[in-house]
A and B are shown apart, each in its own frame.
Chain A
Amino acid sequence: MDSSALNTFQQAQHPVLVASDCDDRARQEFVKSFKTHIQQSILPAVSGVYFQRAVPAYANDHGKAPEDHREARQSFADDPLFQAYLCLNRSSQELQWFSVIDAIEADTQGLASRANDIAPAGGSLTLDANFEIPNYVSSLDIHCMPGGYCGPADAAKLHTGALYDRGVYLYSMGYMGPNNDDMGRSVCNYVKRNLPDLRPKRILDLGCTVGHSTLPYAELFPDAEVHAIDVSEACLTYAHHRAEGMGMPVHFAQMNAEQTSFESGSFDLIVSHILLHETSTKALPRIFKECHRLLAPGGAVIHADLPPFGDMDAYTQLILDNETWYNNEPFWSAMRTKDQIQLSADAGFDKATTHFDTAPMAIMEFAAASADESYTEEMATELTDREFTAGEYAPGGGWEVLIARK
């Protein structure tokens, strides 16, 4: 990838976006630059060393090159450059969250006050006082976000969502678009272009977190009723304020995607965005079955996540597998070994038509239409035209989607 264009993508303002002072903004910008540097300069150097130093040494001892991520890790674990890469990458992740936490703690009153002033947009928030948080969410702070999805108990319940919303922007280095909604927007575009018969009237987004991927459905399918569920009261509370503040009517509810309280056959489009890899071997088939139950005949389910290991080379697997061990993503690699087509079939979907595809990143459309001068077409083209490279954000300029029809 030509890295000549400098990434200056900026997040769009909305009422509950955390306000950061000059220095916190600069610290956050540093994290974004640091992550870009790790991906574009340090990782390629590490990759070169793997193929020139680790693979020949492994082949010398074992009579073959490493064939999967386990063998690749065995060959590379003691290499000082690989250790430096892992260590710096972890610190970049920690600094990302810490730089936002400082800003949130300085803006606690402001966040609550701005949330309070939001005019209703027609959405709703339904919480469940007896809700049980699944262990795959509560056991570790996923992607090292301090406090996890259920977060500290701040009075306004805005801390966790504010942290995630800003953190996603920094993590994605702005490639998720000014509203962090590139995944949702890309899937919407995919539906319009590839499933033209589907004119959804009722849409459900599973594991919506702060609703950043949900809002494009309300925008691009204005006649549809849009629902979104998550397990976290804190994330949902923030998501509700965020959506209302952006004028998008979405109905948020605290439910587990394994078993919801919606009626059977009540949705014609069900989606999820980077949800599946944050669940478990036990939950995954249950979610697929619940999707089948909730879908109306003729409806579609689309899960946007990351590709299975499949035929991926050992080194690419290794770099992806690092998320499991170094970024608190416990199901990340296990999920990639699951036969999702078979799981879909087991849940009642037609095996022959269930398939993986790539939904091109919608950031191109942003660049073409956006008044925000930080999103230039040149940068967007560069992002969406590239080949898949392990460790980069949004593999190959598109999102992997699993599509099943009922």
Chain B
Amino acid sequence: MNSNKIIKGKRPDFYSAPGVDYLMHMVTVLAQEHSAMRDRLDTLESVATEKGAFSPDDIEAYTPTQADLERREARRQKFLDNLFSVIAQEAAEVRNADTKQRFEQVITDLATQT
């Protein structure tokens, strides 16, 4: 963390459930980055139009090739896997009987077994 971004004065708690404040701020930052990306794409289209390369209409009129479709689908699936990885994790835990009890047992065993 950049020390120039530290604010003197205790940051208030907004939600009583731990972690929600972190999450809300993270989502806000991600929204900001998403918005900045869209602005950059918009700039890209404007510059391309101005330079005579292509226009937003060309983008709308473009028909994806089969290779485009496959590449996009693969990227989207990977993105969705990442987005919902916690769900996949939990499903795997249930499948493998990987419980909290087992987790704690491992820690206890490794500390106490001689």
Contacts and interface: CB of A to CB of B under 8 A. Distances in A.
Interface of A: 22-23, 25-27, 29-31, 33-34, 83-84, 86-88, 90-92, 94-95, 97-99, 101, 105, 139-141, 144-148, 152, 159, 325-326, 328
A91 B24 contact: yes
B10 to A, nearest CB: 9
Contacts of A87: 14-15, 21, 24-25
Task: Classify the interface of chain B: helix, strand, loop or mixed.
Answer: helix
Given A92-B28, A98-B5, A101-B5, 4 more contacts: A25-B39, A27-B35, A34-B32, A88-B24
A325 B12 contact: yes
Interface residues of B, number: 25
A26 B9 contact: no
Contact of B32 (A30, A146, A148, A325): A30
A23 B28 CA distance: 16
A22 B11 CA distance: 30
B21 A26 contact: no
Task: Classify the interface of chain A: helix, strand, loop or mixed.
Answer: helix
B87 interface: no
A144 B7 contact: yes
Contact of A26 (B2, B28, B35): B35
Given A23-B36, A326-B12, A95 B7 contact: no
B35 A328 contact: no
10 contacts: A23-B36, A29-B35, A29-B39, A30-B31, A88-B24, A95-B28, A97-B7, A99-B32, A141-B9, A148-B8
B48 to A, nearest CB: 14
Nearest to B38: A26
Nearest to B15: A83
B43 interface: yes
Contact of A97 (B5, B8, B43): B5
A374 to B, nearest CB: 16
Contacts of B40: 22-23, 26
B108 interface: no
Nearest to B33: A27
A179 B5 CA distance: 25
Contacts of A147: 4
B91 to A, nearest CB: 29
Nearest to B36: A26
**Most B CB atoms within 10 A — which of A26, A92, A105, A146?**
A26
Contact of A140 (B8, B21, B32): B8
B53 interface: no
Nearest to A141: B8
B14 A90 contact: yes
Contact of B39 (A26, A84, A325): A26
Nearest to B3: A152
Contact of B4 (A86, A140, A146, A326): A146
Nearest to A29: B39
Contacts of B29: 91, 95
B111 to A, nearest CB: 40
A159 B4 CA distance: 10
B84 to A, nearest CB: 23
B73 to A, nearest CB: 28
Ordered nearest first, which 6 A-B pairs have the shortest CB separation? A26-B39, A87-B14, A26-B36, A140-B9, A91-B28, A30-B35
